[in-house]
Amino acid sequence: MPSTPGMTFLLLFLAFIVWMALPLVPAFLELLRPRDAAPLSAVGNDAGRLTYFADSFTKRAQREGLLGTMVPPRLSDGTPVLSHSQGAPLARQRKPFEQMVVLMDSEPLPEGCELATEVLARLTVRGSRRVTYRALLGQRDVYLGDESTVLRWVHARGRLEVANGSRLLGRATAERTIVLGTNVVFERLEAGVIRVTDQETQEAALLPTGAYERFVPSYGKQLTTGYWRIDGGLPITAGSAFIGSAISTGAIVVNEGARVTGSLKAHDEIIVRSGAVVVGSLASRKRITIERGAKVSGPIISEETIVVEAAVIGSSTKPTTVTAPVIRLLPGATIYGAVMASENGLTVA
């Protein structure tokens, strides 16, 4: 049948659409039938340095002479500077302090005060109850009192300790340790180690793989050596060792005392039971739970919720990242690296 100009145009148009869609075919196939089991790089809701503002403020403080013997009464842009010390403490007032405040020693601030600009602490900070900070840089340790609020960022050159009921609404970072009380709201945390309370955490022992009975999935498809795709759930037998990576269309449960060397991805939830060890990353479209006494060495990423009980994530030599919209950390939770909660982070008793 002879072609008409309209038919020719339609055929050319369809060919153009097919040609444009070809690069997207692998992505569509992966979405419909996921099979990728490679480890993920954890990228939170802020891929830049969490200490960016603290680093910038440090340079400004040095430039303005705030770390010298005499604190200037004003900055170069005209901003007034107030000093707070045991000998000359800030007076109580109902309205926020609009001046930049320099804490000369460890004298606590007035309870319930609000600091509307940056605060520089030259020595250890001993925070009072219900103090609101816009931003706080501690040259040493920082101890925030009960029900404190940080609106933008806080950074401690040493240890950052946050008391019960506080709110960290921006970035909270420390060069050594962050210790959080209970009912602490947070968004982005980063330190050498992050702990919830000083409760001791029983870390699962990492035994050689030869000490375990080898676990091999009895169903599913082995895509390549050590890479499995499982239609349905994947329960990894207690006390066994699974060497390889897997992606499951259902839930994955790493049972008590099991060891996984590789990465796990699930369309449903992931549970790492007490005493289990995962040497690799975890990723799920739903909830991830790391039970008491478990250990995960790599990044943990969920599209919904992550719950970390008294477990250990990462290590002092290999920090990692915990990333999800909602994160719950229980007493004893220990994370080496960063925690990113894009919607709601909370420590719970």
Tens-digit pLDDT profile for residues 126-161: 999 999 999 999 999 999 999 999 999 999 999 999
Is the pLDDT score of 11 beyond 70? no
The three state secondary structure string of the chain is CCCCHHHHHHHHHHHHHHHHHHHHHHHHHHHHCCCCCCCCCCCCCCCCCCCHHHHHHHHHHHHHCCCCCCCCCECCCCCEEEEECCCCCCCCCCCCECCEEEECCCCCCCCCCEEEEEEEECCCEECCCCCEEEEEEECCCEEECCCCEEEEEEEECCEEEECCCCEEEEEEEECCEEEECCCCEEEEEEEEEEEECCCCCCCCCCCCHHHCEECCCCCCEEEECCEEEECCCEEECCCEEEECEEEECCCEEECCCCEEECCEEECCCEEECCCCEEECCEEECCCEEECCCCEECCCEEECCEEEECCCEECCCCCCEEEEEEEEEECCCCEEEEEEEEEEEEEECC
pLDDT given at position 9: 64
Mean pLDDT of 288-293: 97
| Angle at CA of residue 260, ends 216 and 291, nearest 5° | 125
If one counts every other C-beta atom within 10 angstroms of the C-beta of residue 49, the result is 12
Distance of CA 102 to the CA centre of its chain: 30
Cα–Cα nearest to 102, from 63, 130, 74, 77: 74
The per-residue pLDDT for range 61-91, each reduced to its tens digit, is 899 989 877 889 999 999 999 999 999 999 9
pLDDT given at position 16: 57
Q: In one letter, which amino acid is 39? A: P
Is the pLDDT score of 17 beyond 80? no
pTM of the shown model: 0.83
Computed over every residue of the chain, the mean pLDDT equals 89
Q: Which residue has the higher pLDDT, 82 or 33?
A: 82
The per-residue pLDDT for range 205-254, each reduced to its tens digit, is 778 888 899 999 988 898 888 899 999 999 999 999 999 999 999 999 99
The per-residue pLDDT for range 336-349, each reduced to its tens digit, is 999 999 999 999 98
Q: Is the backbone of residue 87 left (phi > 0), alpha (psi -120 to 50) or beta?
A: alpha
- The DSSP bridge pattern shows strands 295-296 and 288-290 to be unpaired
User: Which residues, including other chains, have CB under 8 Å from residue 312's CB and lie 6 or more apart?
Assistant: 201, 203, 204, 294, 295, 296, 334, 335, 336
Dihedral angle computed from the Cα positions of residues 328, 333, 336 and 337, in that order, rounded to the nearest 10 degrees: 20
Is 262:281 a contact under the CB 8 Å cutoff? no
Q: For the chain, state the CA radius of gyration.
A: 26
Q: In one letter, which amino acid is 12? A: L
The per-residue pLDDT for range 174-191, each reduced to its tens digit, is 999 999 999 999 999 999
Is 78:59 a contact under the CB 8 Å cutoff? no
- Residue 329 sits at φ, ψ, to 5 deg, of -115, 125
- The DSSP bridge pattern shows strands 221-224 and 227-230 to be antiparallel
| Angle at CA of residue 287, ends 284 and 290, nearest 5° | 95
